[in-house]
Chains A and B, each alone.
Chain A
Amino acid sequence: MFLRPQGKMLVPSLLLLLMLPVTGAATELSVTESLQSGLAGLGVSGDHGPPGLVSPGSTGEQVQPEVAEEEGSHHGGGFKIVQWEWSYVQTPYIISVWLLLASLAKILFHLSQRFTTVVPESCMLILLGLVLGGVVLLAHEKQLYQLEPGLFFLFLLPTIVGDAGYFMPSRLFFDNLGAITLYAVVGTLWNAFCTAFCLYGVKLLGVIDEKVDAGLMDFLLFGALISAVDPVAVIAVFEEVHVNDTLFIIVFGESLLNDAVTVVLYKVYMSFVEVGPANVGTAECMKGLVSFLVVSLGGTLVGLVFAVILSFTTRFTKKVRIIEPLFVFLLVYLAYLTAELCSLSAILSMTFCGIGANKYVEANISQKSRTTVKYTMKTLASIAETIIFIFLGISAMDKTKWAWDTGLVACTLVFILLFRAMGVIGQTWVLNRFRLVPLDRIDQVVMSYGGLRGAVAFALVVLLDGEKVKAKDYFVATTIVVVFFTVMFQGLTIKPLVKWLKVPRSTNRKPTINEEIHERAFDHILTAVEDIAGLQGYHHWRDKWEQFDKKYLSKLLLRKSVYQKSELWEAYQKINMRDAISVIDQVGGQRVMVHSRRL
């Protein structure tokens, strides 16, 4: 689905970098700084909103008089036929050039077929980022571009999560919701605490150098942010591997749902670190627990509210078909921002908004709008992913931001792998007593190995306040190493591992009308059997939900003309259309071949 680049873009990047000195001292802003000055006006803040964003007022003001000076010099010199308006177009120009670079790199990457099958795109992107970072470092002695947390959390992450949430197969997601929630909550907590305590213990033992000035609280904070499985990395790596759907949905669902846990832990420990470890009492811990419930349930609720608003709105868009996609994008993004606004879990909000709205929106909007929404979201998500990985690579080259300690890095790596494996095994043992289809050893291996860390951890660690968390630089370096290790090493080796273990792959079958019928029929049959036995099992509840949906929700949220048609008919239409298109493609393909032979 996503194209990936390869790194041999030195020439254009050098050109770009050479342009910068030309424009003079006034314009030595990084991309993100100029963005920040724009964003400062919005008064953005919040827990994912970084300290970095709030500072721009001063830099913005500095720019103004210098720019005015330049413009003054323009006007003073008489009429010029052609003028160099760099300061005017600077920000959008740089952004566009970066996007262009990334996209061109993708094309180059796919020129080598053999390479693409072995090396996942995320690896190549990070390598490209490293190379570019090195170039910038050499040219400018300091790092101009980096992955700013504000940019990441406000623009890049929502794009990817929105795409993932909207196209999440909801049936599969809810079938496995128990497993997903267990791994997300219990698994992340286990990882966080164990890693933190073990690192602290190791520090007391002296394996970690004295220079790393961190107490238990600091390690707890670090443990919280390094232990969450990252959705961006999981998508990037798993989509190349094509494991079976159940396995993918469990790992991916976990990476989305653990956001609530990460947010709460991060905030709680930040406040503990600020307050000082001596002042932490049980009241604070209770507040943390309550906070978790509020954040997760609140985020979900916000998402569902927006889902209802979105579905309801699309019910009336028959006359304004052309802006239907806009509603989808805006409302899903607003779900994210609103949750951020109230410091709830934004990822949960966006995910559930997408899942909830998908069914009704896809039924309400026109075919063209469906296509537009699908491809725009995928394109944007692809771009965002590319930028994230490239900037991860570039940020790694910024020596001023990190400090190296071998003990810390090595121990962290060992601990996260170890505790991930232990956590997965333990939880799977518990889960298998309740699951219809148990998760076997091979699934567990893939799940442990697929617990990738990524850009979210990096953004969170960069957000740390260097004054309060003295060991920040060491943490940053460790996070970089961990992220690189998981994305690159584990990303590279997971494909051969999956093949070696003979993990059942996703078959990518086209859905047939037979399956649609049988799935529905079986649902009814099994519900009936459950009712006869007086069991209130899974099917019973799912059937109750379906009835509620049919009676109330669909009436409210679906367009009248759609509401009356059965879902089976819609499914039949889709399948028919897909088959017709594939026939035309085949025939058309043959015709093209005939033509080219004639030529």
Chain B
Amino acid sequence: MGNKQTIFSAQQLDAYQDCTYFTRKEILRLFSRYRDLAPQLVPLDYTHQPDVKLPYELIGSMPELKDNPFRQRIAEVFSEDGEGNMTLDDFLDMFSVLSEMAPRDLKAYYAFKIYDFNNDDFICKLDLVKTLNKLTRNELTEDEVRMVCEKVMEEADMDNDGRLSLEDFQHVIVRAPEFLSTFHIRI
């Protein structure tokens, strides 16, 4: 063990350790997972900070993810360019937010962003409708979706502006004490 790795320079590793909640070992482990996604695209030498992005199609075409309704949204939220093309930094960020050390507010913020389809910093009715349809795989009729959305608004919309702001969302999350443990992945 020790400093024998040649993937990153020492400063890079330190920088990563500062920005994320991970230790050296975990960062290296995550790097190897990142590389496993596309071995031909990702170089083994990151010391010169290559501009490597994994295109969205790579993630979107993974067989495990094909049934998952949120795959596109996740990639979009955690990618710098918002298109779903992930750099290593984005990858590390994603897991950092979901790790046990990340504070609840940070997690709530990212969860909020995932629901916010039109990226206007509010979860409006349309966003809710889209979420619901994704969750129920379009099994519900329009009326039913509308009724559920209304109920959601009724429960969560504190300032009564017809859409959920980040504060409304956090208020809902605070009332569910298990949120911190649910929105969590262990690497």
Q: Which residues of A contact B (CB under 8 A)?
A: 436-437, 504, 507, 509, 512-515, 517-522, 524-535, 537, 539-540, 547, 564-566, 568-569, 572, 575-576
Contact = CB atoms under 8 A, between A and B. Distances in A.
Contact of A437 (B62, B137, B181): B181
B48 to A, nearest CB: 25
A545 to B, nearest CB: 13
A406 to B, nearest CB: 47
A569 B185 contact: no
B95 A526 contact: no
B68 A531 contact: yes
Interface string B40-61: 0000000000000000000100
A533 B186 CA distance: 11
A532 B62 contact: yes
A436 B181 contact: yes
A-B residue pairs, 9 tightest by C-beta: A531-B64, A566-B136, A437-B181, A528-B68, A566-B139, A514-B172, A533-B33, A524-B70, A513-B151
Nearest to A576: B151
B106 interface: no
Interface residues of B, number: 49
Interface of B: 30, 33, 36-37, 59, 62, 64-65, 67-71, 74, 94-95, 98, 100, 111, 114-115, 131-132, 135-137, 139-140, 144, 147-148, 151-152, 155-156, 172-173, 175-177, 179-187
Contacts of B67: 547
From A504, A519, A521, A526, name the one whose CB has the most chain B CB atoms within 10 angstroms: A521
Contact of B114 (A437, A514, A525, A575): A525
B182 A522 contact: yes
Contacts of A572: 147-148, 151
From B68, B95, B136, name the one whose CB has the most chain A CB atoms within 10 angstroms: B68
Chain A facing B: main interface SS = helix
A565 B131 CA distance: 17
B183 A522 contact: yes
Given A520-B135, A534-B36, A513 B155 contact: yes
Nearest to A575: B151
Nearest to A568: B136
B70 to A, nearest CB: 5
Contacts of B59: 532
19 contacts: A436-B184, A512-B172, A513-B151, A514-B152, A515-B176, A519-B182, A522-B111, A525-B114, A526-B182, A526-B184, A528-B74, A529-B98, A530-B185, A531-B68, A532-B62, A535-B187, A540-B64, A547-B67, A566-B137
A524 B68 contact: yes
Contacts of B37: 532, 534
Given A517-B132, A517-B135, A526 B140 contact: no
A261 B67 CA distance: 41
Given A509-B175, A569-B140, A537 B70 contact: no
Contact of B139 (A507, A513, A565, A575): A565
Nearest to B97: A529
B131 A528 contact: no
Contacts of B100: 436
A514 B65 CA distance: 25
Nearest to B78: A529
Nearest to A544: B64
A20 to B, nearest CB: 56
A576 B179 CA distance: 23
A535 B70 contact: no
A45 B152 CA distance: 56
Nearest to B179: A518
A88 B4 CA distance: 90
Contacts of A529: 74, 94-95, 98, 185
Contacts of B131: 517, 521
B70 A533 contact: no
Contact of B144 (A515, A522, A524, A569): A569
B179 to A, nearest CB: 8
A569 B62 CA distance: 29
